[in-house]
C-alpha cells in the first residue's frame, strides 16, 4: 500500500509548520503536500514547552501555540491544514528512507513517495545512558523535547510541590526548566560539570549575573561535577542522586537537559553529513537535488561567517524552512542563497535576553550588571561579530541585530565599552 505526494515534509515540528505556511502562501494545490510526524499534534512552537506550558497558572496549552504564532502570523490549527488541502500524517514514525527511489517507509508499513522531500526531523534529547548512567526510565526522571515530555514534567512537578528537584545540565533547557520548577514551588539544585551556566554562550560575567539571580530565588548550584548514579525505592522511583564527587542529594524528581543529537539516522550513507547534521547548500538543498533539509538537522553555509554551521535555535528553524520552500517554488533566476544572522533568545523568571552573531574573540561587557540593563559585544579580528543584551526594548534588540550584521570595524575597544548599547543605537 502507498500514497504519492509532490512535496513531503518529514517531521512535524517548528520548521515543518513554517514550511507549510510558506507553501500555502506561494500556492499549492490540494493533495500536493503532506507532513509526516511521529508526534500526534500539528506543528507547534516548541520553545513554549519550557516556558508558558510549565506555568502553574494561565499555562499555555494547544491550540494556543501552534505554529506560526511565534512570529505573529496565522495560527495553523489542524483545521487550517484541512482547509488548505495539506495532509497531516500524525503519530507516524518513518523507519527508513530511500532517496534514490524517492520513498519513505513508515513504521506501520506504508510507503509514501515524493517528488521533493524536506527533511525537518529536528533532534532528540540525549539520554543519561549515553553518558554511562542508568535509570532514565524511572517515573520521576524527566526530559524535555516534545509535548509528551512537557506533559509528563507537569504531572511529575504537580506531585512534588514543596519537594526537591535536581536539574542535571546548565544549558538553556536546564536553566528554563529550573526557573519553572521554582515558580511551581519546588526546591531546585542544578548540577553541571562546567564552571558556569550556559557555557557555550555566556561569559563568566554574564553567567554570574544569572546565577546570582537564580540564587536569590533559592536555587543551589553544584558545579564541576556530574551525576554518577541514582538511588531508587522499591517501586523504582528515584529517591537520591549521587554525584561523581561523592555528594548525595535527596530527590523527589530529576530533570535532565544534557544536550541534543540531530535526527540524521534515516539518511546516513545516503546524504552528505557535516557538523553532525545533513549538509545543505544556500538553497537548503542536500547532496541529493530532490531532498532539502531545514531546522536543527541542517548544517548550512552561514554567509556572514563563511562557514557551515548547524544551529539549534527556533529562529533558524523558521527561516531556513521558509527559505527552502522559496528555493523550491521560486523561478530559478530569482533564487538567492540563505543569508542568515544567527539569533538565539531565552526567557527565565522576569528576565529575557537576545544574542545575535558569533561569540568568538574578545568580549566587551557594558551596562549595569547590578541592575537589569547590560550586554556584551564580541570583537573578532578587529570587527564586531556578536552582541548580547538582557532586558532590551524592541528597538534596542533591533539595533544590536543590525550592528551585528554590519560587522563594523572596532578600532578602540575602550571607547566601545564606554558607549555600550549607545554604539549599536547610533549605527
Strands 298-302, 116-119: parallel, antiparallel or unpaired by DSSP? unpaired
- Shortest Å distance, C-beta 401 to ligand FAD: 14
Q: Which three cell numbers stand for residue 322?
A: 521558509
Q: Does 81 bind ligand FAD (CB under 6 A)?
A: no
Task: Tell me which of 34, 314, 327, 401 binds ligand FAD, using CB under 6 A.
Answer: 314
Give the SS3 label for residue 206. helix
Angle at 381 between CA 376 and CA 387, to 5 degrees: 20
Q: Does 68 bind ligand FAD (CB under 6 A)?
A: no
Closer by beta carbon to ligand FAD, 323 or else 423: 323
Closer by beta carbon to ligand FAD, 47 or else 357: 47
Q: Does 11 bind ligand FAD (CB under 6 A)?
A: yes
Q: Does 309 bind ligand FAD (CB under 6 A)?
A: no
The residue count of the chain comes to: 427
Q: Which three cell numbers stand for residue 347?
A: 526567557
- Shortest Å distance, C-beta 130 to ligand FAD: 17
Closer by beta carbon to ligand FAD, 346 or else 404: 346
Residues 102-141 as x/- pattern, contact with ligand FAD by CB under 6 A: ------------------xxxx------------------
Q: Does 296 bind ligand FAD (CB under 6 A)?
A: yes
Task: Tell me which of 8, 14, 182, 238 binds ligand FAD, using CB under 6 A.
Answer: 14
Coarse DSSP helix, strand, coil percentages of the chain, rounded to the nearest 5 percent: 30, 30, 40
Closer by beta carbon to ligand FAD, 246 or else 269: 269
- Shortest Å distance, C-beta 123 to ligand FAD: 6
Under 8 Å CB-to-CB from 200, ≥6 apart: which residues? 171
Closer by beta carbon to ligand FAD, 169 or else 420: 169
Closer by beta carbon to ligand FAD, 124 or else 244: 124
Handedness of CA 37, 120, 67, 332 (dihedral sign): negative
Task: Give the total of residues touching ligand FAD (CB under 6 A).
Answer: 36
Residues 223-262 as x/- pattern, contact with ligand FAD by CB under 6 A: ----------------------------------------
Ranges of H-type helices in 125-171: 147-158
The β-bridge partners of 346 are 353
Q: Which residue is nearest to ligand FAD (CB)?
A: 13
Which residues in 318-347 contact ligand FAD (CB under 6 A)?
344-346
Handedness of CA 167, 67, 398, 293 (dihedral sign): positive
Closer by beta carbon to ligand FAD, 13 or else 357: 13
94-99: long-range pairs with CB below 8 Å, 24+:
94/10, 94/36, 94/38, 94/266, 95/266, 96/266, 97/10, 97/266, 97/267, 97/270, 98/270, 99/267, 99/270, 99/271, 99/288, 99/290, 99/291
- Shortest Å distance, C-beta 421 to ligand FAD: 22
Strands of the sheet with 248-250, listed across from one edge: 227-232, 238-243, 248-250
Closer by beta carbon to ligand FAD, 316 or else 410: 316
Angle between helices 172-183 and 147-158 (to 10 degrees): 40
Give the SS3 label for residue 399. helix
Residues found near ligand FAD in the complex (CB under 6 A): 11-16, 36-39, 46-47, 49-50, 93-94, 120-123, 144-145, 173, 263, 266, 295-297, 312-315, 317, 344-346
Amino acid at each position: 500500500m502507498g500514497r504519492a505526494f509532490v512535496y513531503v515534509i518529514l517531521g512535524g515540528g517548528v520548521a515543518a509548520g513554517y514550511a507549510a505556511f510558506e507553501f500555502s502562501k506561494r500556492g499549492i494545490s490540494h493533495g500536493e503536500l503532506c507532513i509526516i510526524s511521529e508526534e500526534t499534534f500539528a506543528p507547534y512552537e516548541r520553545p513554549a514547552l519550557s516556558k508558558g506550558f510549565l506555568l502553574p497558572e494561565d499555562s499555555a496549552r494547544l491550540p494556543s501555540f501552534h505554529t506560526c504564532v511565534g512570529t505573529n502570523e496565522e495560527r495553523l490549527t489542524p483545521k487550517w491544514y484541512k482547509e488548505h488541502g495539506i495532509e497531516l500524517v500524525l503519530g507516524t514514525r518513518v523507519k527508513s528512507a530511500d532517496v534514490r527511489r524517492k520513498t519513505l517507509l513508515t513504521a506501520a508499513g506504508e510507503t509514501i513517495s515524493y517528488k521533493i522531500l524536506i527533511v525537518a526531523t529536528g533532534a532528540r534529547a540525549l539520554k543519561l545512558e549515553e553518558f554511562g548512567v542508568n535509570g532514565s526510565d524511572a517515573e520521576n526522571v524527566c526530559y524535555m523535547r516534545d509535548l509528551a515530555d512537557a506533559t509528563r514534567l507537569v504531572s511529575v512537578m504537580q506531585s512534588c510541590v514543596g519537594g526537591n528537584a535536581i536539574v542535571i545540565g546548565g544549558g538553556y533547557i536546564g536553566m528554563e526548566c529550573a526557573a519553572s520548577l521554582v515558580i511551581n514551588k519546588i526546591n531546585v539544585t542544578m548540577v553541571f560539570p562546567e564552571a558556569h551556566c550556559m557555557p557555550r554562550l555566556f561569559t563568566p560575567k554574564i553567567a554570574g549575573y544569572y546565577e546570582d539571580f537564580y540564587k536569590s530565588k533559592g536555587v543551589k548550584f553544584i558545579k564541576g561535577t556530574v551525576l554518577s548514579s541514582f538511588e531508587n525505592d522499591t517501586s523504582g522511583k528515584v529517591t537520591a542522586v549521587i554525584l561523581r564527587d561523592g555528594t548525595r542529594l535527596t530527590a523527589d524528581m530529576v530533570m535532565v537537559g544534557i544536550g541534543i543529537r540531530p535526527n540524521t539516522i534515516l539518511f546516513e550513507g545516503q546524504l552528505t553529513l557535516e557538523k553532525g547534521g545533513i549538509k545543505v547548500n544556500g538553497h537548503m538543498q542536500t547532496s541529493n537535488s530532490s531532498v532539502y533539509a531545514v531546522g536543527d538537522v541542517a548544517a548550512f553555509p552561514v554567509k556572514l561567517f563563511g562557514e557551515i554551521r548547524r544551529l539549534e535555535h527556533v529562529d533558524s528553524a523558521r527561516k531556513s524552512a521558509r527559505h527552502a520552500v522559496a528555493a523550491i517554488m521560486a523561478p530559478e533566476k530569482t533564487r538567492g542563497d540563505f543569508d542568515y544572522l544567527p539569533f538565539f533568545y531565552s526567557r527565565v523568571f522576569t528576565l529575557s535576553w537576545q544574542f545575535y552573531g558569533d561569540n568568538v574573540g574578545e568580549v566587551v561587557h557594558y551596562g549595569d550588571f547590578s541592575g537589569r540593563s547590560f550586554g556584551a559585544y564580541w570583537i573578532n579580528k578587529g570587527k564586531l561579530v556578536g552582541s548580547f543584551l538582557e532586558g532590551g526594548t524592541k528597538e534596542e534588540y533591533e539595533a544590536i541585530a543590525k550592528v551585528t550584521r554590519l560587522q563594523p570595524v572596532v578600532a578602540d575597544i575602550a571607547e566601545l565599552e564606554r558607549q555600550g548599547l549607545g554604539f549599536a543605537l547610533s549605527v
